[in-house]
Amino acid sequence: MLFKFTGDRDQQQTRLADVTNEKNECKSNYITVMRQLQNHTECLRLLYNVEKAYQEGWIHFSPSIYYISTEEKSWSGSREDCRKRGADLLIINSREKKDFIDKLLKGQLTWIGLTDSEREGVWKWVDGSALTTGFWFPGEPNSRAGDEDCVLTGYTYNSTKAWADYPCDNRFFYVCEKSVY
């Protein structure tokens, strides 16, 4: 009888190990499925946000969406309006983005999120990052009108160099930018 009991105990231990392995595999599969569900949910949220933005007049160019104003404001007024929209003035940090924006604006004078208002000649984007790639019109920036601390694009049409510094109180159209993530 002792032998039979030992055999039963061995079978029970083997079965317990099998059940434990099945439980661990099921838990692992559950975690994998939940991660996939989370990824799909995030993807759906992203698509919803982009669709909603389209309906509100935003334009998508990965990884951000852009709003082109229909009214003219000062640079600070433009930035304030962008912030109300959960965005900020446009940052142009690549040639691809510049080309995309140029096609949208078609040479229209437009504020972007670049300024040297903190320190003359030290150009910074609205996120605090330094200007690394500029697309200045020849002779710009020049502060020709005196206190020209804000930057607009579209100073010339069909040119890779279309930025100019301008007095921040002048009124122009503007572009807001926000990430879709």
For 78-133, the pLDDT digits (tens) are 999 999 999 999 999 898 999 999 899 988 999 999 999 999 989 999 999 999 88
Mean pLDDT of the chain: 84
88 Cβ contact partners less than 8 Å away, ≥ 6 residues apart: 79, 82, 113, 126, 127, 176, 177, 178
User: Does the structure show a pLDDT above 90 at 34?
Assistant: no
Q: Give 157-163 contacts, CB < 8 A, sequence gap 24+.
A: 157/106, 157/107, 158/107, 160/98, 160/135, 161/135, 161/136, 161/137, 162/102, 162/107, 162/135, 162/137, 163/112, 163/114, 163/134, 163/135, 163/136, 163/137
65 touches 53 (CB < 8 A)? yes
Q: Give the single-character DSSP code of 56.
A: T
Across the range 130-138, mean pLDDT stands at: 90
Is the pLDDT assigned to residue 47 strictly greater than 70?
A: no
pTM for the whole thing?
A: 0.72
61-78: pLDDT as tens digits: 878 999 999 999 999 999
- Selection from 62, 93, 90 nearest residue 78 by Cα: 90
